[in-house]
Structure 1
Amino acid sequence: MQRRKLLACLSAAVLAPQGLRAAPLAYQLMPEATDVRFTFLLSGQPQQGRLPVTKARIRIDPANLARSQADITLDARRARTGLIFATEALKSAGVLDTARHPQIRFRSTRVRLGPDGRISDGAAIEGDLTLRGTTRPLILQAALYRRPGSAPDDLSELDVQLTGQLSRAAFGATGYGELVADRVRLAIKARIRRAG
């Protein structure tokens, strides 16, 4: 009888931390406060463009930030630059090929926290970017902040900043190579709100 009780107590002690571990919190992207920009060089001059987000699945684990996740889909067909001819070239078969690949997707695979253990000040989100049907790894420098003036434990709305760069040639987007540089810089600002 004593042995059975001892085994039950040990089993409960071993299983308790896993059973009590809270699931990551679901967040919704706030489209009106989200801006996905890219910068490229056209004939040596910087040009900017924008891509709208069509779908976002975001999970933040406040107890273990490294377990946080993001899965974001962008609408390549609605990509825009400040120049109509550049926008049309961007959507063409030689660059984004939006007729065959209307979506761009980023799925996080790992969150590297900054030296202070937060998603800011040196943190990075590693993931897989799928562009033109080709998937390659991408690292984004990340920062996640509470809204100014919010209480220290108020995680209902958060601001996100992500930056990075990619080689368009790595995804087969080599069109207009004589006019457009290979490196494309990314700058994403977003606001997310706790779901439910």
Structure 2
Amino acid sequence: MIRTPNSPLTRRTVMRGLASLPLLGLSGAHAAQAKPTRYTLDTQTSSVGFFFTLSGTAQRGTMPVKRADIIIDPQNLTASTVDVLVDVVGARTGLFFATQAMTGAEVLDAARFPTIRFVSTKVQLGAGGRLSDGARISGDLTVRNVTRPITLEASLYRSAGSASDDLRHLMIRLRGQISRSVFGASGYSDLVNDAVTLDINATVKQAD
């Protein structure tokens, strides 16, 4: 899991950071012409945590993130986009039998549907125009080849200890709850609650 530092991004912070990056060569009035910036996934420090209830006891598991593309538009943060692909085959829980059941045909059916994908469709900024502090990202979640709209709480941060103008590495956290049955992952309903909480943590870096 990724620690969440107290360095939230605002439009002002993004503009100031992009304006000072030597690679872009932006300064002063040219900052207003900053183009959307693409970020790619750091697989070593990214994961999807999920929480479920098994026979009345809270359980936690993880899934590797295979890919995450993030585009930040400094002129219009609400036009920023997120596209996350998760590896179902690599899903793990703290219980071997629970992992087998979860990835089996009655729940996620990893053999037939090896990935889960979330693609954003709308970004709602939080307090003060932040991509945190109440920001929400709506999008389409595809599980078992079934796509449903969901809304996740969102936070986007600079790396802990980084300078205010250093936006080369960012961290995004997406959190929300889904009903597994609406995606057809309804197996073992007598043992496992329908509600599953997602906690997506990804470290991204500016694309070359």
| TM-score range normalised by the length of the shorter chain | 0.7 to 0.9
Give 1:78's aligned residue: 90
Write out aligned runs for 1:1-196 (5 A).
21-196=33-208
- Letter aligned with residue 79 of structure 2: R
- Letter aligned with residue 151 of structure 1: A
Shift of the alpha carbon at 1:34? 1.1
Residues paired across the two proteins, number: 177
Range with bigger deviation, 160-169 or 56-65? 56-65
Shift of the alpha carbon at 1:148? 2.5
Asked which structure has the greater RCO (Cα within 8 Å, sep 6+), the reply is: 2
Shift of the alpha carbon at 1:151? 2.2
- Letter aligned with residue 123 of structure 1: A
Moved over 3 A (4+): 20-23
Residue segments in structure 2 that go unaligned for 5+ positions in a row: 1-31
Residues 81 and 121, structure 2, Cα contact 8 Å, conserved in 1: yes
Residues 24 and 67, structure 1, Cα contact 8 Å, conserved in 2: no
Q: TM-score w.r.t. structure 1 length? A: 0.86
Residues 62 and 91, structure 2, Cα contact 8 Å, conserved in 1: yes
What SS does the aligned partner of 2:44 have? Answer: helix
Residues 40 and 70, structure 2, Cα contact 8 Å, conserved in 1: yes
Shift of the alpha carbon at 1:22? 4.0
What SS does the aligned partner of 1:55 have? Answer: strand
Shift of the alpha carbon at 1:47? 0.7
- Letter aligned with residue 73 of structure 1: L
Alpha-carbon RMSD: 1.3
Q: TM-score w.r.t. structure 2 length? A: 0.81
Q: Give the share of equivalent positions with the same residue, in percent.
A: 53
- Letter aligned with residue 187 of structure 1: D
- Letter aligned with residue 41 of structure 1: T
Name the larger-Rg structure: 1
